[in-house]
Amino acid sequence: MKLTEKVAIVTGAGSGIGRTIAQLFAREGARVTVVDRDQYAGNDTIESIRATGGDALSFHGDVAKSGDVRTAVAATVKAFGRLDVLVNNAAVQVLAKLVETSEEGWDLVHNVNLKGVFLGCKFAIPAMVRTGGGSIVNIGSVLGLVGDPDLAAYCAAKGGVISLTKVAAVTYGPQGVRVNCICPGDVDTPLAQSYFAKDLDPDRLRNEVYSKYALRRIATTDEVANAALFLASDASSFITGSTLMVDGGLTSKCY
């Protein structure tokens, strides 16, 4: 029980990586606030946590809106008495090359993927400092370090997440707040499965993607969640400002 007596907020926890992280944290003893703008998806996550004896709170909100994020933090502290862990996971994608990216698409991606992380840190850090510190885990991406021609806005925003992680770590480390970033490659989520399924030859496309990885597969949501658990827990007590690659060796080679 690595998170016994801890209180955590996980954004974008209605599905995929966020849901798995919220479920794992609850199994490890944390009381968890599930934040998602899809209320039904968030409630599904809550029900799955409570079904296994966990303690969780559902919050319907948008991480790109300061009022929602402020309220989510306040509601968590009111319900559970403190805040120890924040996982900034919520994210969106807009598929477009740089010149073809609309201003609306650029703003959407940056408002959720980067501003959402900023707001999460802005309102969570004071709550953590009041009770002696805490741990923030930002979910970045390998695309914050390398480029994808079809995801210009996403790459730029995730690069910002990595830099913001370092800024927060060096600024609030003296007050006991650790801030780290996980950079996954492709992850086997419903979104990835639908991407493969839409191809004329799904098996061919899946094998092509797998071939790019040293481990010849993509990550499971459990593998990303386990990394988040490590960074959230006291097992990583001397780690801050770090970027943890959970990419199966994808970025370890040039060709």
Residue 154: active-site member: yes
Of the candidates 154, 172, 195, 255, the residue annotated as catalytic is 154
> Helix (H, G, I), strand (E, B), or coil: what is residue 43?
helix
Return left, alpha or beta for 173; rule: phi > 0 is left, psi -120 to 50 is alpha, else beta: alpha
Structure tokens at 44: 């599904």
- Nearest Cα to 89, choosing from 234, 236, 232, 242? 232
Tell me, letter by letter, the H, E, C secondary structure of the chain: CCCCCCEEEEECCCCHHHHHHHHHHHHCCCEEEEEECCHHHHHHHHHHHHHCCCEEEEEECCCCCHHHHHHHHHHHHHHHCCCCEEEECCCCCCCECCCCCCHHHHHHHHHHHHHHHHHHHHHHHHHHHHCCCEEEEEECCHHHCCCCCCEHHHHHHHHHHHHHHHHHHHHHHHHCEEEEEEEECCECCHHHHHHHHCCCCHHHHHHHHHCCCCCCCCECHHHHHHHHHHHHCHHHCCCCCCEEEECCCHHHCCC
- Length in residues, the chain: 255
Residues annotated as catalytic (active site), given as ranges: 154
